[in-house]
Amino acid sequence: MVTLIVGMNLIFSVDSILTVVGMTDIFAVMVGSVLISVALMLVFAGPISRFLSSNPEFEILGLFVLLLIGFVLILEAGHSAHLTVNGAPTPYIPQWIVIFILLLMFALDLYQNWWERKQEVDAVTLHRRRK
């Protein structure tokens, strides 16, 4: 398990480094931003882990967010490269639509969690029939 965690951290670190290299040419900014991001990940790993342990439904939400972002990135790359699928160009999805979908997903999940907790609190009381 430790090897898997270290491997995943290395993969995400390479991703972060590639992102930083694409954003700036200043080496000090690159090093500083990677160090700050690693420190923030270490600080927030425990609280996020505890939150997900007590609210497992957010794991599913996180999976759908990753799938949505991956799908949008694939479409955006196809659109930028002018790829065609069955003779039709790859569609472009505006960012406001993606943000709207993400906000809608979060709002629905928060509403569902609130509704489930309300149902637990407001249990139905049964009455006996009088003869």
| pLDDT digit string, tens, across residues 79-130 | 888 888 888 898 888 889 999 999 998 898 888 877 777 777 666 677 777 7
The residue extents of the domains of the chain are 1-54, 55-122
pTM: 0.60
Other C-beta atoms lying within 10 Å of the C-beta of residue 78: 16
Distance from C-alpha of 105 to C-alpha of 5, rounded to nearest angstrom:
28
Higher pLDDT, residue 16 or 37: 37
